[in-house]
Amino acid sequence: GAVVSQHPSWVICKSGTSVKIECRSLDFQATTMFWYRQFPKQSLMLMATSNEGSKATYEQGVEKDKFLINHASLTLSTLTVTSAHPEDSSFYICSAAKSNQPQHFGDGTRLSIL
């Protein structure tokens, strides 16, 4: 089946650091990639949707200058949390999909900001 790899699995950083999370579709070319955020004991909230080669579409309330998304190829999207603070600590999950196909999710990245 389709495999989506997310890296790193867990990162702990000091406040003020920028952190980059990678999402790769390993065995298919994804026309669209999605980034979600999950707070403890809560559901996933969509942050942004990105298509290869174009700017990401952010959901309402998500700061695009804070959460930079780059989708440089059909197999790679990155999310950079700039100048991260403790309130940015969360579980970030990406997914990838071909057009009109189900989304396939990565295993998630746990971000802990001290």
Partner 1 sequence: GEDVEQSLFLSVREGDSSVINCTYTDSSSTYLYWYKQEPGAGLQLLTYIFSNMDMKQDQRLTVLLNKKDKHLSLRIADTQTGDSAIYFCAEQNSGGYQKVTFGTGTKLQVIP
Binding interface with partner 1 (CB under 8 A): 6, 32, 34, 36, 42-46, 49, 51, 57, 93, 95, 97, 99-100, 102-108, 110
**CB-based contact 74:29 (threshold 8 Å):** yes
Nearer to partner 1, 39 or 83 (CB): 39
Rounded distance between C-alpha atoms, residue 39 and residue 61, angstroms: 15
Nearer to partner 1, 86 or 100 (CB): 100
Cβ nearer to partner 1, comparing 6 with 75: 6
Q: How far is the CB of 83 from partner 1 (least distance, A)?
A: 26
